[in-house]
Chain A
């Protein structure tokens, strides 16, 4: 509910921002172009439509509030799940895609990413307990093996078979 209201407000802000920016786009009057082809016309209309949708969303929420009845949550809202896992995934993926790739050779970056990902998410607290060495060794060695295989296979297949330029 509150999310919908905030989304509505954000859309209105975005829509108005887009309309203003579209208005400020050049109209090439000195070139004598047809006024119906100016670059700002379509984004301007789209901005206005989005602002209108935002208004509808906001007013819909407001009406529901005034009546005191909650709109039933739609699918996707309040999904269960773990925020720490999400944040960890974000750190690893953005770290790899945004920073490691391009800075290190591709195979090395990919190896490090896959290894880190598996070590983080395949970790089980019981590995720490005494007598779990075998499990710990399996965990570390399979992660290492998959990281090596993925890095080698992706680099080879795309560079040699599909002739794709790698980062």
Chain B
């Protein structure tokens, strides 16, 4: 088990070169900027960079993407603290205490805490990746089509439940719409072009990246232009160098939030947002100073930022070992790996065993970069928040257009981006979340092929889907998620409970 750490150290040394440091530097800075700007999410940053770097060598491109991912989730804490607007959805819990600290003139301290939290969170997640990913890959060798089918359903259902903004039904609808979008074009068993009607572009299917760039990029441009908000940023007061005492005092919170965040990232479809919220909730419930939470608690801020950053390596674990994404940005990373010819999945430890450790080493460089930039470049980075939205949006849209076109060089993809951007705006106006839609688009082909393959293997019997041990756990969790998300079930449980109590008492 500890061999992993040795390979990890070797990978760090092997990756070290001026070129690597250069890529780490600019990609992390870009990621932090993307994360800081409200509306530009890690998912969008990854989607745009995937299309723009696909001509680079696989190792360089993956490194750049990982730095963008780690940087963006961290960068979001800046706008959460200074503006009370989470830069990415994962930083919502950060705003609770971070903004309160900033209001009382402790913005610099808050940013320092967020930086050290993010750094240590990433480190905990990274060590978990090096230690547990090989074990998970080995376990997953026993997975068959039945398990992969349920994992795909699981990702969509859990993501829909958690991101449905209080209405799980809308989350599930978004997820299943995503699965349906993935059905367009040639299917993986008989190469029949579904819903193509003789159109060669449709037969090729909707590319994941044009869809993503549309839903996260173009939708966001439309949304921002519809709701113009101008913010003025005050200068951050105080030193950003976190006091060693603060870090040492909260070591239990750091380790606990790091582990919770990693686990939340690991579960398909859950991701950074929940990593942050659950870490925050657990920290509050176990804290001796519960009253301080929400009023500027250093511990609360530390737990939220440690939790979301730990979820990043966590979400990469299933990407590498199962080819199932742990979160929406991880779904883009998965697509990028396929584009670069890396084949993630249970066979990864057999086909390219070094790759897991290379990715872990890349996360190490990214975490070092956020620590360095976070502590040294505070003032220059605040300039990012002063950029006017009206000046920024046309640039974002030009990048969306280039990004949609770049992968396959077909203008059809630009139309796909435009179409999904408008669809995304409509869904957003109706209160549907976007993350399950993305997971649906990625998981669609996995669900499709594995359901049919499973049925062939079992000769049409549904029994293995329900009786194999891992399948059993997965479908039971899915069922419970559905039941807990449906009003009639909760109401019936309450009325039963009331009836039993009244009979008993």
A interface residue numbers (CB < 8 A to B)? 3-4, 7, 11, 18, 21, 25-26, 28, 33-37, 39, 41-43, 45-47, 49-50, 53-54, 56-57, 60, 73-77, 79-83, 85-86, 88-90, 93-94, 96-98, 101-102, 110, 113-114, 117-118, 121-122, 146, 150, 154, 158, 162-167
Are A37 and B414 closer than 8 Å at their CB atoms?
no
Q: Given contacts A36-B455, A42-B451, could you give 13 more A-B pairs where the C-beta distance is less than 8 Å?
A: A46-B183, A50-B173, A50-B176, A74-B166, A74-B170, A76-B429, A77-B429, A90-B222, A97-B418, A158-B52, A162-B56, A163-B55, A165-B406
Given contacts A42-B448, A74-B167, contact A122 B390 (CB under 8 A): yes
Q: What are the 8 A-B residue pairs with the smallest beta carbon separation, nearest first?
A: A36-B455, A76-B431, A81-B226, A117-B394, A74-B431, A89-B225, A86-B226, A39-B192
Known A-B contacts A36-B460, A76-B428; the reply to A96 vs B183 at CB < 8 A is: no
Q: Are B173 and A42 in contact (CB under 8 A)?
A: no
| B180:A97 contact, CB within 8 angstroms | no
Partner of B391, one of A7, A34, A54, A146: A146
Which residues of B come within 8 Å of A, CB atoms?
Answer: 51-56, 165-167, 169-170, 172-173, 176-177, 179-180, 183, 187, 189-190, 192, 194-195, 218, 221-222, 225-228, 390-391, 393-395, 397-402, 404-406, 409, 411, 414-415, 417-418, 421-422, 428-432, 447-448, 451-453, 455-456, 460, 486-487
A59 CB to nearest B CB, Å: 10
Minimum CB distance partner of B167 in chain A:
A74
Checking B192, B397, B402 against A158 with a beta-carbon cut-off of 8 angstroms, the contacting residue is: B402
Interface pair B451/A76, CB less than 8 Å apart: no
- Report if A89-B176 is in contact (Cβ < 8 Å); known contacts: A46-B183, A165-B406: no
Chain A hits for B451, CB < 8 A: 41-42, 45
Q: State the CA gap A18–B181 with chains docked (Å).
A: 11
Q: Is the interface of A mostly helix, strand, loop or mixed?
A: helix
B189, B218, B487: the one contacting A37 at CB < 8 Å is: B189
Instruction: For A41, list chain B residues within 8 Å (CB).
Output: 451-452
Please state if A34 and B456 are interface contacts (CB–CB under 8 Å). Answer: yes
B183 touching A164, Cβ below 8 Å: no
Instruction: Report the nearest B residue to A3, measured CB to CB.
Output: B430
A11–B222 CA distance with the chains assembled, in angstroms: 24
A85, B418: Cα distance in complex, Å: 17
Q: Are A167 and B401 in touch, CB under 8 angstroms?
A: yes
Across the interface, do A39 and B190 meet the contact criterion of CB distance under 8 Å? yes
Q: Tell me which residues across on chain B come within 8 A of A113, comparing CB atoms.
A: 394, 397-398
The answer on a CB contact under 8 Å between A46 and B166 is: no
**Contact status of A150 and B173, CB under 8 A, knowing A36-B455, A76-B165:** no
Please determine whether B180 and A47 come into contact, CB atoms closer than 8 angstroms: yes
A118 contacts B167, CB within 8 Å?
no
- Which of chain B's residues has its CB closest to A33's CB? B190
Name the one of B166, B180, B227, B405 contacting A18, with C-beta atoms under 8 angstroms: B180
Q: Name B456's contact: one of A37, A74, A88, A102 (CB within 8 Å).
A: A37
Q: Shortest Cβ distance from B158 into chain A, in angstroms?
A: 16
Sample of 23 A–B contacts (CB below 8 Å): A18-B180, A25-B194, A37-B455, A39-B187, A42-B447, A42-B452, A45-B451, A50-B180, A73-B431, A74-B166, A76-B165, A85-B225, A86-B222, A89-B222, A89-B225, A96-B398, A97-B397, A98-B418, A114-B395, A121-B225, A158-B402, A167-B402, A167-B411
- Known contacts: A97-B401, A165-B405. The answer to whether A25 contacts B192 by CB under 8 A is yes
Q: How far is the CB of B49 from chain A (nearest CB, A)?
A: 10
